[in-house]
Structure 1
């Protein structure tokens, strides 16, 4: 479907609608609820907070691999009305405000991805998904805190004592929720990296020169420093600017859901004082930092952890599957964390659009795990690498900055590669171009349908089909004299 489309094609409807109980009503839970309702399943979402708390107050970026899913679901028009479309990245040096260069999005590449790179408030994305899910018939209950779950029986118990059940439990309650340890068998908090994200918002009216400049840029900017970094972009139609500071954690821990508690000036460090003008100029990133420190709201501290990849996202003995941050916690406020959560819901729904018998539930859950794990693992490693790249020190930082300066001086995009070297931008191209729903369809055509046909033949007493996995394992590819592959 073209990225210009504002309507979605009617999705395949499951011939056997089943019930899903989604634990966690954040972006992951709502996206999954919407996706499952689109294919005809019954969905109840349980969120332990009230709606105002669940909506959040920060910014969020939607890369093309995410926006194209939402376009496909018919949400292009509402997204476009709420979002800013980013056309470029501006890179600066944190300590001095030196401009390192820029990268302008490749228009043809974005067309190939069938999506756009969008920026908006987390609360706006939340409301869009909530209203679409409700319109489709999903049910969402707030202040519904799950305190016990039984994966084998697919039941949960609320804090009130109420017991609920479904055919499938979906754990979308994040890395600190109840579902992750239920699958893993223990709490898996990850290792502290010594860095934290400090997430805040600055009203544009407080820094009008910079708000105007960001709007003029049609993009977002990033400042790289020794152990520090800043990412900033407009939200609320450029009425506010989302600022995300990376700085040393100082031995304190924090997570999303905590109340804003950190004064921004306390984390601004390492900037040359001569750049801290009382009346900052739009060309000085350092002056901007001081202005932000003066006018920013208190920030939420989120500790950055390095998590191990889970072997299993599906409970061994029951119908409980993890999605989003419960399955794969991402470094906070990186580009792809939200995207991977929405991709999870889209893939799960695509697979379950083919269900016709209860026996298929288990195979679809494991197919979901198989389809998502390698994709998420590679993307998550890249996002953590981006945080370390932005906050690098010493020789690594010097080489990074010198490379950007040289490309900028040559009039090049700073994320382009050098000769045979693979560029960061080429990695983005692959990630942005991925279509998770197509991948789920391919699995069904190549594996799911074959398994169903094999079962039908066995039920009819016909000789079984050759096991597809065994057959493919025996396939040998050789090169012919004309360079073509022969099987």
Structure 2
């Protein structure tokens, strides 16, 4: 991929290029490197694993708020080659196979979001981002394990003994990485939710004629059960199916990166015969315990230039649609803010602005994603029946599954807000409303600069200046 193919509407270039070290070469780290290089900063990505072991073949769903960023970065063409567009959700019962309803994404809504729903694999998305980052000049180092971080310097020490320094450190090494542990002053294993995800794929050749019903209109199949659920969707140009089974978590162990050794047949009981026929061909799965991690009060380490992004800042339930999207949004926002860097003194304020912009957004989306997992796997028979009856009624009336009732309409409105959100626009808005205001306040009174986020003082200073100018 040429550098030119990664460029779309070249963004504002920073007046002061600085050095970023990004700890972690997954989706979050690579996306951050792309975004920073696009605005002119230097980026080194340090990944402890070898390149062949970083990505997985798991399925991944990319919502419109994510694909619009990748399109803006000039990656639309390659995504169209490596991913599939989907418009349809198909709901059924886990135990009986009964059809419950369909939801077709509204074309008008998708047009407004400037993105699309896409289906691909973690490995394919990782390769697209890697190629783009390298083409833009990012330095990506594999087998570079960070053992120590000194956020005050800021420097990192590798397992090899090499010490690297930068102007800003970005922790993108996940919920169990050294960056999050440093900010938390300890490891955070999260609290078990009672659910686990089994993640695997099935090849079309292995399915034979058993699963033609799963390929309808590139749709995402969701089967609701009592305390269980299945999500299935096509990947690899329909050559394979991504298969994700949710069920009770009796061991509270397992995470992404583990060897695919779990046997779904031993845990996925009571499933309908059509899905059972499919599951007879399922490969060994990666077992991931679904845990709820505490919200971090700060994503920026105290008195330092270390900032967390992606799963290091906000671990999401595994397999959910927004997990990778939020990581990509993080990188886009951080880079947008730092495109305005003109003096070193701005670095800390931009890091805290990033935290301020992202925390409320991520918490809202994360709450909805957890709600979606629990909605699919309702263990209470009465609550599950109420959910299913609502879907049946909408299907009988010819309505989309997410349309109709007041509750559904509210959920749909929230979803539209999430999908329509433009994180880069929000970063630009911050600069126009607060960043420029702060710079003007500083120019008004260089002798008494306002504190890092003392916006009220900024407003007072700038307002006084405007009044003085108007009086003359």
> Would the TM-score normalized by the shorter structure come out above 0.5?
yes
Q: Deviations over 1:433-472 (max 9, x none)?
A: 0000000000000000111111122239999xxx753587
Q: Deviations over 1:155-210 (max 9, x none)?
A: 11111111111111100000010000111222222100111000000001222446
Which residue does 2:353 correspond to in 1? 367
Q: Return the offset for 1:354.
A: 0.4
Q: Deviations over 1:111-166 (max 9, x none)?
A: 00000000011111000000000000001111111111111111111111111111
Kindly tell me the number of residue pairs found equivalent between the two proteins. 452
| 1:389 and 2:375 correspond | yes
Asked if structure 1 preserves the Cα contact closer than 8 Å seen for 2:34 and 2:138, the reply is: yes
| 1:458 and 2:466 correspond | no
Higher mean displacement: 318-327 or 248-257: 248-257
Asked if structure 2 preserves the Cα contact closer than 8 Å seen for 1:6 and 1:71, the reply is: no
Q: Return the offset for 1:260.
A: 0.5
Q: Return the offset for 1:7.
A: 6.0
TM-score of the pair, normalised by structure 1:
0.90
Which residue does 2:35 correspond to in 1? 35
Asked if structure 1 preserves the Cα contact closer than 8 Å seen for 2:63 and 2:321, the reply is: yes
Distance 1:195 1:335 in 2: 17
Q: Return the offset for 1:36.
A: 0.3
Task: Tell me the secondary structure at the aligned position of residue 295 of structure 1.
Answer: coil
Distance 1:108 1:210 in 2: 35
Task: Tell me the secondary structure at the aligned position of residue 100 of structure 2.
Answer: strand
Distance 2:20 2:93 in 1: 48
Which residue does 1:319 correspond to in 2? 305
| 1:52 and 2:39 correspond | no
Q: Deviations over 1:37-58 (max 9, x none)?
A: 0001010001111111112110
Asked if structure 2 preserves the Cα contact closer than 8 Å seen for 1:61 and 1:119, the reply is: yes
| 1:234 and 2:265 correspond | no
Asked if structure 1 preserves the Cα contact closer than 8 Å seen for 2:66 and 2:328, the reply is: yes
Which residue does 2:331 correspond to in 1? 345
Task: Tell me the secondary structure at the aligned position of residue 193 of structure 2.
Answer: strand
Distance 1:68 1:96 in 2: 38
Task: Tell me the secondary structure at the aligned position of residue 429 of structure 2.
Answer: helix
Asked if structure 1 preserves the Cα contact closer than 8 Å seen for 2:307 and 2:351, the reply is: yes
Higher mean displacement: 388-397 or 365-374: 388-397
Which residue does 2:433 correspond to in 1? 446
Asked if structure 1 preserves the Cα contact closer than 8 Å seen for 2:55 and 2:126, the reply is: yes
Asked if structure 2 preserves the Cα contact closer than 8 Å seen for 1:102 and 1:413, the reply is: yes
Q: Return the offset for 1:261.
A: 1.0
- Specify whether residues 451 and 427 from structure 1 end up closer, same or farther in structure 2 by C-alpha distance, changes over 3 A only: same
Asked if structure 1 preserves the Cα contact closer than 8 Å seen for 2:402 and 2:409, the reply is: no
- Specify whether residues 148 and 108 from structure 1 end up closer, same or farther in structure 2 by C-alpha distance, changes over 3 A only: same
Asked if structure 2 preserves the Cα contact closer than 8 Å seen for 1:6 and 1:76, the reply is: no
Which residue does 1:291 correspond to in 2? 277
- Specify whether residues 458 and 292 from structure 1 end up closer, same or farther in structure 2 by C-alpha distance, changes over 3 A only: same
Distance 1:186 1:177 in 2: 11
Distance 2:183 2:96 in 1: 47
Which residue does 2:222 correspond to in 1? 222
Q: Deviations over 1:288-321 (max 9, x none)?
A: 4222322111100111011221100000021100
Which residue does 1:411 correspond to in 2? 398
Which residue does 1:145 correspond to in 2? 145
Distance 2:458 2:307 in 1: 30
| Structure 2 runs not aligned, ≥5 long | 461-472
- Specify whether residues 210 and 384 from structure 1 end up closer, same or farther in structure 2 by C-alpha distance, changes over 3 A only: farther
Which residue does 2:254 correspond to in 1? 254
- Specify whether residues 6 and 159 from structure 1 end up closer, same or farther in structure 2 by C-alpha distance, changes over 3 A only: closer
| 1:400 and 2:387 correspond | yes
Distance 2:93 2:83 in 1: 27
Asked if structure 2 preserves the Cα contact closer than 8 Å seen for 1:120 and 1:236, the reply is: yes
| Structure 1 runs not aligned, ≥5 long | 272-285, 474-487
Task: Tell me the secondary structure at the aligned position of residue 422 of structure 1.
Answer: helix
Asked if structure 2 preserves the Cα contact closer than 8 Å seen for 1:58 and 1:121, the reply is: yes
Task: Tell me the secondary structure at the aligned position of residue 318 of structure 1.
Answer: coil
Distance 1:117 1:309 in 2: 28
| 1:356 and 2:342 correspond | yes
Which residue does 1:278 correspond to in 2? none
Q: Deviations over 1:234-288 (max 9, x none)?
A: 11111110001101112240111111110121121123xxxxxxxxxxxxxx234
Asked if structure 2 preserves the Cα contact closer than 8 Å seen for 1:23 and 1:29, the reply is: yes
- Specify whether residues 311 and 462 from structure 1 end up closer, same or farther in structure 2 by C-alpha distance, changes over 3 A only: closer
Distance 2:382 2:86 in 1: 31
Distance 2:273 2:49 in 1: 38
Q: Deviations over 1:311-362 (max 9, x none)?
A: 0000002110000000000000101000000000000000000001111110
Task: Tell me the secondary structure at the aligned position of residue 32 of structure 2.
Answer: helix
Distance 1:450 1:185 in 2: 35
Asked if structure 2 preserves the Cα contact closer than 8 Å seen for 1:184 and 1:312, the reply is: no
Distance 2:347 2:90 in 1: 47
Which residue does 1:92 correspond to in 2? 92
Asked if structure 1 preserves the Cα contact closer than 8 Å seen for 2:316 and 2:366, the reply is: yes
Asked if structure 2 preserves the Cα contact closer than 8 Å seen for 1:417 and 1:425, the reply is: no
Asked if structure 1 preserves the Cα contact closer than 8 Å seen for 2:402 and 2:408, the reply is: no
